[in-house]
Structures are given as C-alpha cells and as structure tokens.
Structure 1
Amino acid sequence: MGVGATEAPVGAGSMPKGRQLYVVLGALMLAMLLAALDQTIVSTALPTIVGELGGLDHLSWVVTAYLLAATASTPLWGKLGDQYGRKRLFQASIVIFLIGSALCGIAQNMAELVAFRALQGLGGGGLMVLVLAIVGDVVPPRDRGRYQGLFGGVFGISSVVGPLLGGWFVDNLSWRWVFYINLPIGVLALLAIAAVLHAPSRRERHRIDYLGILLIVGWSVGLVLLATWGGTTYAWVSPQIIALGAGAAVLIAAWVLVERRAAEPVMPPRLFAHPTFTLGSAIGFVVGFAMFGALTFLPIFLQVVHGVTPTMSGVHLLPMMAGMLVSSIGSGQLISRTGRYKIFPVLGTPIVAVALWWCSRMDEATSTLSTGLRFALLGFGLGMVLQVLVIAVQNVVPYEDLGAATSGVTFFRQIGGSFGVAVFGSIFSNRLAHNMEGVLRGMPPGFDPAAVQGDPKAMDRLPPRIRGEFVHAYAESIQTVFLWAVPIVLVGFVLTWFLREVPLRATSHTRDYGEGFGGAPTYRSSQNEIERALSELMRQDAKATELYARLGRIAEVDLPAGSMWALCRIAREGTIRGDALAERAGVPAEQGRPYVNRLVENGLVRRHDGELTVTPAGREVAGRLVAARRAGLARHLEGWEPEEHPELARLLSKLADESLGDDADVKVFAGTTPAR
C-alpha cells in the first residue's frame, strides 16, 4: 500500500481499443511466456550443457540462480512500477532479460552461465510482475478477470512447452538456442509495446524497502549455498559451512529487525503471527522443493539412464504436466463450487510423497508406460496443492496484509524450489561420487573418472559392459535423490492437517490461474488483489440485460436496459455526440435512437445539434443506478470492511461507475426496441 496515492486520469479514449488492444495484449503475453518458459526450458538441456561446459556440481545453480533473482526482484519491480509508471520499467525489464539471454547463449563455462542466469532472472522478475499490472491499466474492469485468466494460462502452456522446446533446440540446433530464441521474440514484444502502449498508469508513492530486499537476497543465497556445498565441496563441520550458517542467521535476524521498522516492509513480520500464513508458507516451500527438484533431475534420468534424446525427454515429461494441469483446474473449480479447500492439500501431499517414492524405484529397466504413470501421479498431487495455499491464506488475513501475504506464499514456494534444486543437486553429486568409486575399481589403469562423472555424454564412448555399470551408478544416484525427498514432503503432509478451514469469502471463490499452474512469484498490493477478485466476479455477473433490469428495480428506474446503458454512458461523458455514442455501443444509430429518445422524452438527456447532454435529473437517475451497482459489489466484500478502508470504498465507487455503460454491455441493444 502506498503512503499516498494519486491517479492519472485514464479516460475512455486513453485506453487502447480494437486491434491496438490486441497488439498490446499479444506483446504482453509474449513477454510473460518468455519469463515463464525460462523456469522450465533449461531442464531438458542441462545434461548437454554440463557435457559441454563441465561442472556437474554447478548444475543446480543454472536453475537456482534464475529462480532466486526473479523471486527477490519482484517486489522491487512492482513498487517501482507503481511509483514511476510501468511502461518504461517494463521495457527496461525486457532489455535486461534479453541481455541476460544473449550472455547465457555465449557463456564459456558454468560460472559465467550461472551469473548470466541471475541477470536473466532479474529481468524475468520484472516481466512477470509488470505484465499483469499493465493489463489492469489497459483493460476495462469487467474484462480484467477474463484477460488475466488468459495470462495465467500462459504458465500452463510454458510448463508443457518448456521442456519440449529445450529438448528440440538441443537436438536440432544447440543448447545455446534455448537462450537465443528469446532475442527475436523479446525484440518483437519491445517494439510492439513502444508503438501502441500509451495508456497512463495509476501512480502511487512508495517508501521502497531496499534494505529488506537486499537482506532477503543475502540470507536466501547463503542458505542455498549452505545446502549446495555442505557435505560435497566442504564438510558440514568445516569453517566455510559454519561461517555460511552463521552469516545467514545474522542476515535473517537483521532482516526481521529491518522489516519491523520499515514503512512498507516487503514481508511484514506480523504475517508470521497468522498460523495459516506460516503453515501455508511452509507447505508451499515443500511443494516448490518437490516440483522444481523433480523438473531438474527427471530429464537427467531420462537422458542418461534411459538414453532418450533431449526432445523425447520433454515428451516423457508431458504426463507430469498433464496431471498438474488437470488437478489444478479441477481443484479450483471444486473449491469455487463447494467452498471447501483443506481436503486438497491433505490428499495432494501424500500423493506427491507416494509418487516420489515410486520414482525412487525407477532404474534402467523401467518401462516407458511405468515412468509415465509415476510422472502423472506426481503432477496430479502437485496440482492439488499449488493454488489452495494462496486461497487459504487470503481467506484469513486482514485487508492490510492481503497483498503481502499472497506475495509471501508464492515467495516461499519459489525459495523452496531453489532449495529443492540445490539439495537434490548436493545429494546427487555425493551419491554419484560414492557409486562411481565401486565402478572405478574394475576400470583399467589410466582411466579418467572425472571425464564420465562431469560429462554424462562421455559414457556413450565406453564399451557396453562398462557403460552399463556407469548408467546403473547414475540410476542409483537419482533414486537416492527422490527417496530423500519423500520425508520432506511427508512433513508437509503433517502440516496440512493443521490448516484451519473457514468459510470462503466471496473474493476467495475466484481463481487465479497463475497460482493454479504453479506460476511465478507475484507482487500485488491488497487493493490489486481485491480488484482482481472483483473483476472476476463482475465477469461472472448475469447477462447485461438482466443486470440492468435488476439494477432498475433496485433503483426504481423504469427504463429499458438499453436506455439505462446510454444514460450511464452519457452521464459519465457529460456530453457526447449521438453518432459517437452509437459507435461506442457498436450498433447503427437508427437501432440505438429509440433508447435515447426515451431519455430525451423523460427529461434525462438534452439533444442539441446532434450532441447529447445529461440533465440534472438524468445525473440523479444515473447516480441511483451506480449506487445500486456499488451496493451489489459491496456484498462481494463482506468480511473486508470497506467502510474502514477508504481506498476500498473508492475502489467500489470506481468499479461501479466504470462498469455501467461500458463496452462489455452493448448486448442490451439486441432484440426489440422500446415502445415509444
């Protein structure tokens, strides 16, 4: 929430319309797709990248660096966008993302690739958080839920397409094209946004918590390094690991102190006083741990142990993505209909645990059908948990903490993903080194084990018997990874039983598809969250004709729906030409004229030289219709106390005014004309 807010006037003419709107939305969807793809597209290319650049022990950081940078930067991008305008910052985030992509494509070693992935993640965080904010700037309130649902669906597409694209580029071009492909698409989005996005955005003054953001990055990186290096690069009791642990603890303590004093903390410490937030964050951490860890190491299993191509490893992952999409969409629909949500994480987490245990039994002899069933079960369990945690948290926190709580749950899920990849990588490296020792005892003198251990593709050059032993060593190592994940997920299962289920608020019945598909870290203020939910509820309203008829009965206005639409539109504009009003309604002037005639005859509108002007009586009638609409919207906010939060009261009035006489309601002119 800003300490002071001013709104740039956004009139009807300032928003893009028609083809221009579709160009803007297309460019925004391309940008969102780029950022979302780069969470998954690298997974199927990792074995080849490691084979060319070496550094198997750094493999997990190719994924972790992107996740950490994107997660930590989202609140900064969000607040800067609120304060300075989103268009230029969005363009800057695209440029940073493209520079990072180009540098990743030319990286010559793993250290460079990891650093450039962090830069890419910094830009990706801006793309993900600013896209939906810009949608709110350019799309009328009634349509926002529909369009934001489409953007959420981009995450579903990226989760399916990412591994396939990564594998295809490796097989047909080079792993470097995993990053180069971003350049032409990003430039196209950049040019389109520069050319057609002109709508001003709402500006809010913020006191940005720079120190809090830096401390989050510090302790997150410290803990992930601890998980990565502990027991592999350094012993657990080594001075380096002890220093890392102590440093992370100090940074966490400093972060808590800073957040308590910050005017606008990134994550207010008081959130952790809510048991549901603490439990939701912990369960989200576990789910992110399992999801991103699996997405990173399953392609390695498929390519090294089963010997499939990178493209086919992406195909083999489709059952997991399909299971995730089916269960996330299905659970969201059931929650909306029944209002019950606790059952889904209670059932989903043990399904994930069983699937991970089943994956730990895979080896080089496991059939394609069997691996597909295991992957589908894993995805199905994950999808049952992903969006429920956000719903549970949003349903219990007070309004002032709504935005921070939503961002906090997704933050801990992303951090869990970073830890999952790091811990899985550490376990894998340890176990692989141990398994290789047994295999190497039978190798001829002079054999270089590092060549095979650091480059999985080097096994293809070995004799069949020796290669089989190395493949089995890889299989056992990856088995251990999934086996260790089982107890962690079971801890999450225990935590789900302590989630408190309370009756859903009306706004919690709306679905955020970005969360349902395990999407990106988010930054939305409390007002943004309420506006998103109200927009979705408005989209689910009755047909326009029925809505206006109901409002007419409540406000005691005896006019046909088309006349009420025209009155509200004319009242909003003050004065408008008749032909312009017909154009806004999307009907021929002769079709709309009887509705306007009714307003003129009743003294609500004055016609002069083709111009229509609302009269004082007409403004009073339009005001009654808007008041009836506002009262209906206010019922959706039961439990949020809009009377205690002036910005919520202003939001209700704004949405009520903008949603009457808008372009989404032009169907009120279909059918018969009113009696004269």
Structure 2
Amino acid sequence: MSTVSPPVRMNHREILESLSGLLLVLFVAMISSTVVSTALPRIVGELNGTQTQYTWVVTSTLLAATATTPVWGRLADMFDKKLLVQIAIGIFVLGSLISGFAQDTPQIIAARAFQGIGVGGLQALVQIVIAAMIPPRERGRYNGYLGGVMAVATLAGPLLGGLIVDTSWLGWRWCFFIGVPIAVIAFFLLQFTLHLPAGARSKGKVDYLGAGLIAVGVSTLLIWVSFVGNSFAWLSWQTAAMVLSALVVLGLAVLVERRAERPVVPLDVIRQRVPALAILASLAVGMAMFGGAVFLGQYFQVGRGYTPTEAGLLTMPMMLGVLISSTVTGRMVTTSGKVKPYIVTGAIVLVVGFIGLSFIDHDTPLAFVGAGMLLAGAGVGMTMQNLVLAVQNTAALKDLGAATGAVTFFRSLGGTIGVSVLGAILAERVKTTILSHLAAAGLPAGAGGGSLNLKALPPAAQAIVREAYGDATGHIFLVSAAIGVVGVLAALALPKITLRSSVDLPAPTPEPELVEV
C-alpha cells in the first residue's frame, strides 16, 4: 500500500530565509497601489480624465486581479509555487512599464488591467506559499515581519507618491516606474532564498472555461455599474441586456465549476460553513474597505485642496491602524489559537470607523477625519488576514491554493464592486451638487468642467467643485458602513475556530478491519 509522506516542517531559520524574498514581493504588490493612490487625482487631471475614468483606473486593476486570482490559486496546487511567483512578478513589471509610458487615460486603464494580472498572482501566491511553510497556529509569530513590510509600504507609499508628482523633474510616471527595480530584485532574491518543502499536488487540468465565464460575467456587471445612471437609466433596455446576460454567464460558470475536475472556485470547499461565512465577510469587508479607502486621496486633494504629498501624510492614520491591529492580533491569535473573536471585533470597529467618516464634509476638522480613518484601518487589520487564515485552516495542503484563491477572489470581487458602485454614487452625487450650486451662483452649467483638472476652471467654479467632492465623500462612507454590517453578521455566525498546529490536515484514522471468527 502506497502512502504519501507528510510535508517536512521547516525550522525558524529556514522560514526566515524563505520569507525574505516573499516579503519583498509583498512590498512590491502593496506599494504599487499605495504609491498611485495619492497621485491618481493629479494623473487623471493632467490627462483630462473624468470621474468615471478615475474609478476605472482603480477598477481595471482590481477586476483583472479578481478574475485571475482563483486561476493562480489552482495553478499553485498543481505546479511549482516559486516559479509561479516569479511569472507573476514578470507580468507585474511589464504592466508597470506600459502604465508609465501611457499617453492618455484609456491607455492607463488598459495597462493597469494587465498589471492587475500580476497583482492577482502576487496577492494570492504570497499567502499560499506562507501557508505551505507555516502552520496556522504559528503564523501569527511571523506577523511582526509582515507588519513591518506593511508599515513601510502603506505609510511610505502615499507619501512617496505625493513627493513624486510634486517633484517637477520626476513626474507622475515614476509612480509606475519605481516598483520595477524592486520587483526585479525580488525576482532574483526568491531564486536564491525560497526553498519550499515538498508537498502534495493536485492532478488534472485547470478549468480555464470556468475562469473565463466568471471574468466575463463579473466584468459585464461592473461595466453596467460604471455607466448606469449616467449614460443610461437604471430602468432601461441597456440595463436589462447587461444584467441578464451577466447573470446567464455566471449561471453557466456555476454549472461548469460543478462538473470540472479541478474548478478554479471549488464549490465543495466554499459550501462548508466556515469558508462560506468567511467568504461572505470578506466580500463585505472588501467592498467597504477598498471602496471607501480608494476615494480618500481624492477627498483630500479635490475636496480639501491639499497637495498630493500632504494627502499622503493625511491618510497615514488608516495605514497605522492596519499595521498596529494586524501585528498585535497576529501574536494574540498564535497565543490563543482562536480567531473568531478578532474577526468579530474587527468587523464592528470597521463599521464604527466608517460611520464616523460618513459625517465628513469639505471643512470637517482633520482630527475627526483621522480618528475615523484610524478605526477603519484597525478594523481592516483585524479582519482581512484572519478571514483568510480561517479558510486555510479548513483546507488540506493539496487544495490550499484553491481555497486561498477562493477567499481572495471574493475579497477582491467585493473591492472591485465596491469601487465601481461607490464611484458611480460619488460621480452622480457630485454632478447633481455642482449643477445646483452653479445655478445658484448664476454660472453656466458647463462652468464646472467634465474632468478633474481644476486648474482649467475659473476660481468660483473651483470652489464649487471642491465643496461638491468634499461633501459627497461622506455619503459613500455611509454606504460603506451599511455594507460592513453584512460582514459583522457573517462574522458573528462563524463557529468557534481552533487553529491547527500542522501544515496539512491530519490524516484520517483508518477504520479497523473486521475479522470473522
């Protein structure tokens, strides 16, 4: 009878050596978005982009990352994880270069979509590789190193992005170029430092048909969300055509996934109670967190008139909240082996933070805005990684990639939907406010402009546009808080979870054979 030997446990030194390259990869993936976040209003403004295009510069990356994450996860179960990480780095580098050389907003949107394929690989594969090395119970011990990388990327990224666009001899294109040399260093560092223990691998073919159907269905819904209420009405033939076709495609995707030998979204895993509730919470938290945080840089620059550098400094409370809460709760999870209390607490804190931010307008005291961001960040730090950990705790090593890819997929999907929906709400509310204020001031309707390039507007119109953006931002945080409540309910419904101390699930105990006497 053949047996599968359990994976060899790595010692502390081996784990630290392997983590060095992975931490740099994590840094590259995180800084690619944090550097651009504060620079985005300047980028879209200089290219004469619209609010819808502003949203799609972010959405295109999230959409591509979302659609490809489950594919990367299943590939990690079947092929060399180290090689896959390096391939994702290569795609990320190429996408960064194309983004930096883009000449208009549509080109940046397309380039960022390509970059998102690499980002989807990096954000899923780093978590998968770490999970393959370190048992769930011990993973919190290493959160200090992860927290340090998060601190540098999240705190320095927005500030660096602001400095780049405020420096005349650099320009906004270096927001995309700056990650290239770091990614190249990470590529070669991984080659020499990452040595994974041998483990079980799945056999079969990746369900590319299912992945394609999911991507088409989700993309159709997001495109509809971006244009509904602006280009056509909510109740219109365009809405019916796009929504119905998306639902049909997603229904076909479910049928394909049910019959596939190796589905990219394993239905048998996500039907279990813990993964199902963790995925629902991740979906809600992703919608609230990504959707709300993306527009903070725009709030400070367009709504409050700060420079990109100043906006980077002003968003630090949210990043500090993420850093502190993730580091502290990581160690507490390792000590107790329990994860549900921190997920529930984090989801509640996130909602409280967004409720606080829902009261902001164009002249709210910065201390109040900072307190709301700090609470929202703390909630994110307590929930995001612990929800992934809860799902990984239920998966066997051979299915670890698919399980991690599934929860990351739904979190990214939530973020993508959140950015699209909240961006559409913001654009419509800003448009209505600007038109009413222009009419009250006796200015023509076209004086508010159609882009984010405020410098091209007369001073009176600039003031109206800034006030409209500042006041409308609070409304989208109220919507984010309502979405976050779903995450709270899902977290409360989770059963008690005790993290295992082994990399793989324990082998089932064979039943004793009955011997006839």
When the two structures are superposed, what TM-score results if normalisation uses the length of structure 1? 0.66
Residue 57 of structure 1 deviates from its aligned partner by 0.9
**Aligned-partner Cα distance in 1 for 2:428–2:510:** 56
Note if contact 2:65-2:120 (Cα within 8 Å) is conserved in structure 1: yes
Alpha-carbon spacing, 1:137–1:416, altered in 2? closer, same or farther (3 Å): closer
How many residue pairs match? The answer is: 502
Alpha-carbon spacing, 1:382–1:189, altered in 2? closer, same or farther (3 Å): closer
**Aligned-partner Cα distance in 1 for 2:466–2:238:** 33
**Aligned-partner Cα distance in 2 for 1:362–1:458:** 24
Residue 478 of structure 1 deviates from its aligned partner by 1.4
- Say if 2:89 is the partner of 1:94: yes
Alpha-carbon spacing, 1:305–1:196, altered in 2? closer, same or farther (3 Å): closer
AA of the residue aligned to 1:483: L
Residue 475 of structure 1 deviates from its aligned partner by 1.5
AA of the residue aligned to 2:344: V
> How is 1:22-41 mapped onto 2 (pairs within 5 angstroms)?
26-41=20-35
Alpha-carbon spacing, 1:392–1:446, altered in 2? closer, same or farther (3 Å): closer
Select which of 450, 465, 478 maps to 1:483: 478
- Say if 2:181 is the partner of 1:184: yes
Match of 2:69 in 1: 74
Match of 1:349 in 2: 347
- Say if 2:265 is the partner of 1:271: no
Note if contact 2:74-2:264 (Cα within 8 Å) is conserved in structure 1: no
Please identify, of 345-354 and 208-217, the stretch whose mean Cα deviation from structure 2 is larger. 345-354
Residue 496 of structure 1 deviates from its aligned partner by 3.1
**Aligned-partner Cα distance in 1 for 2:341–2:133:** 38
Match of 2:149 in 1: 154
> How is 1:227-246 mapped onto 2 (pairs within 5 angstroms)?
227-246=225-244
Larger Rg: 1
Match of 1:372 in 2: 370
> How is 1:169-248 mapped onto 2 (pairs within 5 angstroms)?
169-172=164-167, 173-190=170-187, 204=201, 205-248=203-246
- Say if 2:382 is the partner of 1:387: no
**Aligned-partner Cα distance in 2 for 1:178–1:96:** 17
Residues 431-476 of structure 1, C-alpha deviation per residue, up to 9 Å, x if partnerless? 011011112215566674353x4125337x633x553333221222
Note if contact 1:166-1:311 (Cα within 8 Å) is conserved in structure 2: yes
Please identify, of 487-496 and 98-107, the stretch whose mean Cα deviation from structure 2 is larger. 487-496
Match of 1:427 in 2: 425
Match of 1:417 in 2: 415
Residues 275-331 of structure 1, C-alpha deviation per residue, up to 9 Å, x if partnerless? 332222121111111111222111111112222111121111111111122222333
Alpha-carbon spacing, 1:294–1:5, altered in 2? closer, same or farther (3 Å): farther
Residues 534-580 of structure 1, C-alpha deviation per residue, up to 9 Å, x if partnerless? 7xxxxxxxxxxxxxxxxxxxxxxxxxxxxxxxxxxxxxxxxxxxxxx
Q: Secondary structure at the match of 1:42?
A: helix
Alpha-carbon spacing, 1:189–1:349, altered in 2? closer, same or farther (3 Å): closer
> How is 1:237-316 mapped onto 2 (pairs within 5 angstroms)?
237-316=235-314
Match of 1:112 in 2: 107
Alpha-carbon spacing, 1:331–1:209, altered in 2? closer, same or farther (3 Å): same
Residue 394 of structure 1 deviates from its aligned partner by 4.6
Alpha-carbon spacing, 1:290–1:130, altered in 2? closer, same or farther (3 Å): closer
Q: Secondary structure at the match of 2:295?
A: helix
Alpha-carbon spacing, 1:404–1:240, altered in 2? closer, same or farther (3 Å): same
**Aligned-partner Cα distance in 2 for 1:396–1:81:** 17
Gaps of 5+ in 1: 508-529, 535-636, 646-676
Note if contact 1:68-1:121 (Cα within 8 Å) is conserved in structure 2: yes
Match of 1:557 in 2: none
Alpha-carbon spacing, 1:337–1:146, altered in 2? closer, same or farther (3 Å): closer
Q: Secondary structure at the match of 1:266?
A: coil
Residue 134 of structure 1 deviates from its aligned partner by 6.7
**Aligned-partner Cα distance in 2 for 1:198–1:399:** 17
**Aligned-partner Cα distance in 2 for 1:342–1:364:** 38
Match of 2:514 in 1: none
**Aligned-partner Cα distance in 1 for 2:499–2:142:** 23
- Say if 2:465 is the partner of 1:467: no
Residues 4-27 of structure 1, C-alpha deviation per residue, up to 9 Å, x if partnerless? 9999x99x9xxxx99xx96x8655
AA of the residue aligned to 1:175: W
AA of the residue aligned to 1:159: T
Note if contact 1:276-1:393 (Cα within 8 Å) is conserved in structure 2: yes
AA of the residue aligned to 1:375: M
Note if contact 2:31-2:179 (Cα within 8 Å) is conserved in structure 1: no
Select which of 309, 319, 322 maps to 1:321: 319
**Aligned-partner Cα distance in 2 for 1:350–1:197:** 38
Cα RMSD of the aligned pairs, angstroms, is 3.8
**Aligned-partner Cα distance in 2 for 1:78–1:392:** 17
Note if contact 1:85-1:200 (Cα within 8 Å) is conserved in structure 2: no
**Aligned-partner Cα distance in 1 for 2:479–2:360:** 14
When the two structures are superposed, what TM-score results if normalisation uses the length of structure 2? 0.84
Alpha-carbon spacing, 1:36–1:444, altered in 2? closer, same or farther (3 Å): same
The structure, 1 or 2, with the larger RCO (C-alpha pairs under 8 Å, 6+ apart) is: 2
Alpha-carbon spacing, 1:364–1:84, altered in 2? closer, same or farther (3 Å): closer
AA of the residue aligned to 2:476: V
Note if contact 1:39-1:67 (Cα within 8 Å) is conserved in structure 2: no
Match of 2:358 in 1: 360
Residue 342 of structure 1 deviates from its aligned partner by 3.3
Q: Secondary structure at the match of 1:384?
A: helix
Match of 1:658 in 2: none
Please identify, of 157-166 and 95-104, the stretch whose mean Cα deviation from structure 2 is larger. 157-166
Alpha-carbon spacing, 1:208–1:238, altered in 2? closer, same or farther (3 Å): same
> How is 1:606-625 mapped onto 2 (pairs within 5 angstroms)?
none
Note if contact 2:77-2:401 (Cα within 8 Å) is conserved in structure 1: no
Residue 61 of structure 1 deviates from its aligned partner by 1.7
AA of the residue aligned to 1:462: P
Note if contact 1:216-1:255 (Cα within 8 Å) is conserved in structure 2: yes
Residues 604-635 of structure 1, C-alpha deviation per residue, up to 9 Å, x if partnerless? xxxxxxxxxxxxxxxxxxxxxxxxxxxxxxxx
**Aligned-partner Cα distance in 2 for 1:443–1:74:** 49
Q: Secondary structure at the match of 2:250?
A: helix
Residues 207-228 of structure 1, C-alpha deviation per residue, up to 9 Å, x if partnerless? 2111122122122212222322
Match of 1:526 in 2: none
Match of 1:493 in 2: 488
AA of the residue aligned to 2:249: L
**Aligned-partner Cα distance in 2 for 1:179–1:213:** 28
Residues 89-142 of structure 1, C-alpha deviation per residue, up to 9 Å, x if partnerless? 444333322221111112122221111111111122333445566779999xxx
Q: Secondary structure at the match of 1:504?
A: coil
**Aligned-partner Cα distance in 2 for 1:71–1:291:** 15
Residue 391 of structure 1 deviates from its aligned partner by 4.1
Q: Secondary structure at the match of 1:441?
A: helix
Alpha-carbon spacing, 1:398–1:25, altered in 2? closer, same or farther (3 Å): closer
Residue 427 of structure 1 deviates from its aligned partner by 0.4
> How is 1:535-554 mapped onto 2 (pairs within 5 angstroms)?
none
Alpha-carbon spacing, 1:397–1:90, altered in 2? closer, same or farther (3 Å): closer
Please identify, of 249-258 and 35-44, the stretch whose mean Cα deviation from structure 2 is larger. 35-44
Residues 236-256 of structure 1, C-alpha deviation per residue, up to 9 Å, x if partnerless? 122222122112211221111
**Aligned-partner Cα distance in 2 for 1:445–1:206:** 65
Gaps of 5+ in 2: 512-517
**Aligned-partner Cα distance in 2 for 1:88–1:127:** 12
Q: Secondary structure at the match of 1:420?
A: helix
